[in-house]
């Protein structure tokens, strides 16, 4: 006969579950840490008020298979990271990507079923001076999980731009339980009494924690209890998650909310009071379109935990980079332009505050596959890997490690041909348009300086590739200025430059 053991403090929690086709929302152990228990006894003794923005470094580990496949793409990481920061802005907490995204090729971790294996591996690979997230294909059959003695696993299938799983697991990492804490295993530890939400809930529920221990006694069952939260708030401090501004919630499986972000399932508290769960809480199991916030008490807890227990992440003072918000202006190739297939140079205007760019080129405008997929630190790139007489589509994204939310540029297309030209001209020392911003009808100048004579054409194109002007040019060595009117120019951006048999160079002109 198995021994029954009641436990109130869990020092190590681990469990193994099989992978299912539909991931379980969260595999974090349903426990309250000693720190959280201490905090909730006297929150006023901790510093948790939103008196400043906390800048937190995040080390991101992208895990793939042994052969280097199945990695979460950089663009999807940027999207998910944007959502994470949007979710935590309300808490006065902002994350930045520390250093480069770490690439790991390990099939056993990329798809694993053993929490202990995952936690031990994360401890081995983690950066000790930041918060760590490992992005994998299968985090033990869940969308994600956090191990309090280790770090976070995040499933790729649950890390889209509209998913809040990453924020949910970071909330766990910062000590937040589920609002339905205690109901994770149903109403009783052995499922002998399944929940009946139409009847009054019991005063407390029991949970079987045996599976959260590693190498525990084989014949021991470890059971703990949690008081059930009441609608009148009379026991809110000692029941469920211990927060009085997160209302009762007994639903421990994924659920859809109504237009008011409430559950369709009506539940009954121990006093017989009917209620619906609050789906706006990120720590609930409501679907992602409902979840959008942390409560004030949850925010104070996370900030207090960071300031007291994660001092190492603030060890190095950080000056945040300004947000990347300026629209991307693409220069070359212009839309529908024919370009030399054997040397295509892509150019776009530098974006304020951006340190990195993503450049993608594809045969299809939806970019299901890429002919070019590059992360760059400059605003140009040249490739000789495109095929002749094909139409391609290209786009650019700008970001820095603090700001990843700027969307892709508009998609432009070009065709490859036998043209033997490159986006540069030998012996051209300077090409300047001034003023580069002017009112329609005013004139501008093009100043050319070269070390040798240059023959060719001065061209002006709009952003659709339409030729507005083409003028022959025989420029002698030295400096010369050419003036042009804009009487027939509509408001917008234009490209002004030189086309020679040795290459081409363009500069931007804005007509207001």
Residues 169 and 54 grouped into a single domain: yes
Residues 57 and 172 grouped into a single domain: yes
Taking 80 as the threshold, does the pLDDT of residue 209 lie above it? no
Residues 57 and 157 grouped into a single domain: yes
Q: What percent of the chain has pLDDT over 90?
A: 66
Q: Extract long-range pairs of 211-219: CB within 8 Å, 24+ residues apart.
A: 211/14, 211/15, 211/16, 212/10, 212/12, 212/13, 212/14, 212/15, 212/29, 212/31, 213/10, 213/12, 213/13, 213/14, 214/12, 214/14, 214/116, 217/3, 219/2, 219/3
Residues 367 and 248 grouped into a single domain: no
Residues 278 and 358 grouped into a single domain: no
pLDDT band at 14 (very low <50, low <70, confident <90, very high): very low
Residues 227 and 122 grouped into a single domain: no
Residue 446, strand partner residues: 433, 482
Task: Specify the length of the chain in residues.
Answer: 512
Taking 50 as the threshold, does the pLDDT of residue 350 lie above it? yes
Residues 146 and 228 grouped into a single domain: no
- Which of 383, 322, 371 has its CA nearest to residue 347? 383
Residues 67 and 130 grouped into a single domain: yes
Structural domain containing residue 488 = 428-511
Taking 90 as the threshold, does the pLDDT of residue 208 lie above it? no
Residue 206, strand partner residues: 225
Q: In this structure, what CATH number is given to the domain that contains residue 351?
A: 2.60.40.10
Taking 80 as the threshold, does the pLDDT of residue 502 lie above it? no
Please identify, among 417, 452, 471, the residue that sits at the C-terminal boundary of a domain. 417
pLDDT band at 487 (very low <50, low <70, confident <90, very high): confident
Q: Tell me how crowded residue 437 is: count the other CB atoms within 10 A of its CB.
A: 13
Beta strands in 319-365 (DSSP E): 330-332, 337-340, 344-348, 356-362
User: Is the Cα torsion angle 235, 241, 247, 248 positive or negative in sign?
Assistant: negative
Task: Give the model's pLDDT for residue 463.
Answer: 64
Please identify, among 417, 442, 473, the residue that sits at the C-terminal boundary of a domain. 417
Which pTM value belongs to this model?
A: 0.81
On whether residue 279 sits in a domain, the answer given is yes
Beta strands in 271-352 (DSSP E): 274-278, 330-332, 337-340, 344-348
On whether residue 14 sits in a domain, the answer given is no
Please identify, among 417, 440, 458, the residue that sits at the C-terminal boundary of a domain. 417
- Residue 414: Cβ-neighbour burial (10 angstroms; 0-12, 13-18, 19+): buried
- Which of 444, 441, 419, 440 has its CA nearest to residue 497? 444
Taking 70 as the threshold, does the pLDDT of residue 210 lie above it? no
Residues 172 and 188 grouped into a single domain: no
Q: Which residue is associated with the tokens 């790139």? A: 381
Q: In this structure, what CATH number is given to the domain that contains residue 136?
A: 3.40.390.10
Total domains, the chain: 4
Q: In this structure, what CATH number is given to the domain that contains residue 440?
A: 2.60.40.1930
What span, in angstroms and rounded, lies between the C-alpha atoms of 177 and 165?
14
Task: Give the model's pLDDT for residue 10.
Answer: 36
On whether residue 10 sits in a domain, the answer given is no
Residues 271 and 131 grouped into a single domain: no
């Amino acid at each position: 006969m198995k021994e029954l053991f009641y436990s109130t403090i869990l020092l190590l929690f681990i469990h193994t579950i099989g992978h299912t086709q539909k991931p379980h929302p969260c595999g974090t152990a349903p426990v309250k840490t000693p720190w959280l228990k201490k905090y909730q006894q006297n929150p006023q003794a901790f510093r948790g008020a939103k008196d400043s923005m906390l800048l937190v470094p995040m080390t991101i580990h992208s895990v793939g298979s042994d052969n280097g496949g199945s990695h979460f793409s950089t663009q999807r990481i940027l999207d998910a990271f944007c959502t994470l920061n949007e979710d935590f802005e309300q808490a006065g907490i902002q994350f930045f990507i520390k250093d480069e995204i770490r690439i790991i090729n390990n099939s056993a971790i990329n798809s694993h079923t053993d929490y202990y294996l995952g936690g031990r591996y994360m401890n081995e690979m983690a950066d000790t001076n930041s918060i760590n997230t490992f992005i994998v294909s299968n985090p033990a059959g869940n969308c994600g999980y956090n191990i309090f003695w280790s770090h976070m696993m995040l499933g790729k299938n649950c890390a889209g731009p509209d998913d809040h799983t990453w924020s949910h697991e970071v909330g766990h990492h910062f000590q937040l339980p589920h609002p339905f804490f205690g109901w994770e295993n149903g109403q009783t530890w052995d499922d002998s009494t399944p929940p009946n939400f139409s009847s009054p809930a019991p005063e407390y529920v029991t949970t079987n924690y045996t599976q959260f221990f590693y190498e525990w006694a084989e014949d021991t069952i470890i059971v703990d209890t949690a008081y059930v939260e009441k609608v009148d708030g009379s026991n809110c401090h000692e029941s469920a998650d211990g927060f009085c501004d997160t209302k009762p919630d007994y639903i421990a499986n994924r659920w859809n909310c109504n237009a008011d972000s409430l559950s369709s399932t009506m539940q009954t508290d121990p006093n017989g009071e009917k209620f619906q769960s609050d789906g706006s809480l990120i720590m609930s199991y409501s679907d992602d379109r409902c979840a959008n916030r942390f409560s004030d008490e949850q925010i104070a807890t996370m900030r207090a935990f960071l300031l007291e227990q994660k001092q190492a992440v603030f060890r190095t003072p950080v000056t945040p980079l300004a947000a990347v918000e300026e629209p991307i202006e693409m220069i070359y190739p212009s839309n529908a332009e024919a370009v030399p297939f054997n040397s295509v140079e892509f150019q776009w205007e530098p974006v304020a505050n951006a340190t990195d760019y993503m450049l993608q080129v594809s045969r299809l405008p939806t970019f299901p596959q890429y002919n070019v997929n590059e992360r760059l630190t400059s605003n140009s790139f040249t490739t000789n890997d495109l095929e002749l007489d094909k139409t391609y589509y290209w786009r650019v994204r700008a970001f820095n490690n603090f700001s990843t939310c700027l969307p892709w540029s508009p998609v432009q297309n070009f065709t490859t041909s036998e043209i033997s030209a490159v986006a540069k001209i030998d012996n051209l020392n300077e090409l300047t348009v001034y003023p580069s911003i002017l009112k329609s009808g005013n004139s501008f100048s093009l100043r050319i300086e070269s070390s040798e004579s240059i023959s060719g054409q001065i061209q002006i194109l709009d952003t659709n590739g339409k030729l507005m002007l083409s003028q022959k040019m025989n420029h002698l060595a030295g400096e010369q200025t050419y003036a042009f009117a804009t009487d027939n120019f509509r408001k917008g951006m234009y490209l002004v430059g030189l086309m020679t048999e040795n290459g081409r160079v363009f500069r931007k002109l804005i007509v207001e």
